Structure 1
C-alpha cells in the first residue's frame, strides 16, 4: 500500500510539473533548473523540450547514484522519463492560449507543487533538484536556496537569448516556484540535525 501511494504521488507530481512547464512553453517563458535550461535550449536546437530534458539529466544520475542511493536514483530516473513523455504528449495534444502573466504565475505554482510531491516521496526531476536534495541531506541546506541559485544561472543565459519581457515574466514563475517550495517543503527527518545531548 505504501509503495502504491508513493508512485501515485510521483505520477501526480509529474503531471503537475508537465502542465506547468507546458503553460510556460506555449508562452515562451522559463522555469528554474534543468527544465529552465531545456526551455532556453529549444530556442537554438531542433530537439523538443522532452528530448532535451531527458538528455540534460543524464550526467546527474552519477551524483544521485553515488550520494543519494540506488532507490532514489531509480525513482528520479523514472520521474524524469515520465515527465519527458508527458511533455511530449501535452505539446501534441494540449492546445491553449494564455496571457504570459497568468502563465508565469500558474506555471510556477504547478511546478512548485509538483516538486513538493516528488521531494516528499524521495524522488526528484534531476539536475538542480538532485543537487538540492543532496545539499539538504548532506548540509541541511534548504532546497529552495539551491533552486534559487539555479534560477539565477538560467536567467543569465536567458538574457542572451530571449526578449526582455519574456525574462521579466519568467522571473514571476521563478518567484512562484520558490515561494511554494519554501513554504510547503519540510525537510525529512534524516535532514534535520539532532539536538546535542545535555551535559
Structure 2
C-alpha cells in the first residue's frame, strides 16, 4: 500500500536568517514609529515601553531594550542559544531602527485609527517573519512561543490576553479615543499572528 510521504524539512540557512532579521525588524520598527508619532500604543513589551515613554519621556527604544533584559535567561533555558542570539539581535535592531525612522521620514498628519491599524498590520507581518526564523521580540513573545512549543497553546491568544491588561493600564497616559484606536490595532495584530502562526503549520 502506497502512502504519501511528507516533503523533506529544509532549515533556513544562516544568510536567510540574517536577511529575515533585518527585514522583519525594519518592518516592525516602522510600525512602532507610526504608533509613536500618533501617540498610540500596542501590546507586549512594546506596549510597556510605550507606556514608559509617554509617562516619563524615556525614549521608546531605550525602554524597549531594557525591559527585555530579564527574559533572556528564560529564553536561554527553554528555547536554546540560537533563539536567544537571534532575539537579542532583533530587539536591539528594533530599538535602534525605531529611533532612526523619524530621521528619514516625516509625516505631518497621522490619524490615530489609521496609524494603529496600518501599523499593526505591518508589525504582524514582521512578527511572522521573525517567528518563522526562530526569533522573537522578547518578553511576552518569548513566553508565548515557549508555551506554544511546550503545551501547544496558541501564541496569538496568549499575547492577546496580556495585551488586554496593558491596554487597560494605558488609561493613565492616553485618551479614550487613542486607547480605542490602540485596541483596534491590537486586535488586528493578534488576529494576524493567531491565523498564521500555529503549531506544525510552518516547519522550516
TM-score where L is the length of structure 1: 0.91
**CA separation of 1:190 and 1:51: change in aligned 2, threshold 3 A:** same
Report how many aligned residue pairs link the two structures. Answer: 191
Shift of 1:146: 1.1
- Give SS of 1:125's match: coil
Indicate the residue corresponding to 1:80 in structure 2. Answer: 91
How many Å separate the matches in 1 of 2:128 and 2:68? 19
Quick check: 1:104–1:173 contact (8 Å CA) kept in 2? Answer: yes
How many Å separate the matches in 2 of 1:66 and 1:136? 15
Indicate the residue corresponding to 1:167 in structure 2. Answer: 179
Quick check: 2:132–2:202 contact (8 Å CA) kept in 1? Answer: no
**CA separation of 1:153 and 1:137: change in aligned 2, threshold 3 A:** same
Which 5+ residue runs of structure 1 have no aligned equivalent?
192-199
TM-score where L is the length of structure 2: 0.89
How many Å separate the matches in 1 of 2:195 and 2:202? 19
Which 5+ residue runs of structure 2 have no aligned equivalent?
1-11
Query: Structure 2 residue aligned with 1:11, among 8, 22, 32?
Result: 22
Shift of 1:186: 3.1
How many Å separate the matches in 2 of 1:189 and 1:26? 35
**CA separation of 1:63 and 1:158: change in aligned 2, threshold 3 A:** same
How many Å separate the matches in 1 of 2:106 and 2:184? 23
Aligned Cα root-mean-square deviation (Å): 1.6
Give deviations 1:10-40, integer Å, cap 9, x for gaps. Answer: 2111111001111111000011100011111
Shift of 1:188: 4.2
Query: Structure 2 residue aligned with 1:93, among 104, 117, 130?
Result: 104
Structure 1: 4+ residue segments shifted above 4 A: 188-191
Indicate the residue corresponding to 1:145 in structure 2. Answer: 157
1:125 equivalent in alignment to 2:128:
no
Quick check: 2:156–2:193 contact (8 Å CA) kept in 1? Answer: yes
How many Å separate the matches in 1 of 2:102 and 2:69? 22
Shift of 1:91: 3.4
